[in-house]
Structure 1
Amino acid sequence: MPDQTTPPILRYFEYAHLPEPLLSTSRNFSVLAHQLAAILPACEERDVALRKLLEAKDAGVRAALDLPRLDG
């Protein structure tokens, strides 16, 4: 049964403060991170999975910096 303790790393998946298109990109990673935290048991491998997802999220958001902005 999954542990219902919220992993502290989830705070790094917050995205509401970001402008578009960074917000949309980051939100997708956040949804997955929260799903994994909810379904996987609290263990070292879950923590590794979330850390690697955070690394991927950071790279994805950096890549989104090069997307054209709608406001200009």
Structure 2
Amino acid sequence: MEEAILQFFKFEHLPEKLQTISKPFGDMANWIVEKLPRNPERTTALRKLLEAKDAAVRANIFVATPI
């Protein structure tokens, strides 16, 4: 059975600079799905990993702008 959340860990469509940031998170997400039993805690792990991946990508493109 495919995990729907894995679609958000795809990185091939990103520019190379962002692929470098995103890929390790996708690798970890796939590892979690392969190695851990399906249960609410695995879902939580995947959701938090997705949040971390999104934050890391944003951190890489962050441009500080004065208020």
TM tier, smaller:
0.7 to 0.9
CA contact (8 A) 1:6 1:37 kept: no
Alignment of 1:20-39 (within 5 A): 20-39=16-35
Q: Percent identity?
A: 47
Aligned length: 62
Which structure exhibits the higher relative contact order, with contacts defined as CA atoms closer than 8 Å and separated by 6 or more residues?
1
Per the normalisation by structure 2, the TM-score is 0.87
* Cross-structure match for 2:54: 58
CA RMSD of aligned residues (A): 0.9
Moved over 2 A (4+): none
Query: 1:21-64 CA distances to partner (integer Å, 9 max, x unpaired)?
Result: 11110011000000011000000000000000000000000011
Per the normalisation by structure 1, the TM-score is 0.81
Q: Give 2:39's match in structure 1, choosing from 39, 43, 48.
A: 43
Structure 2: which 5+ runs fail to align?
Answer: 63-67
In terms of fraction of residues, the more helix-rich structure is 2
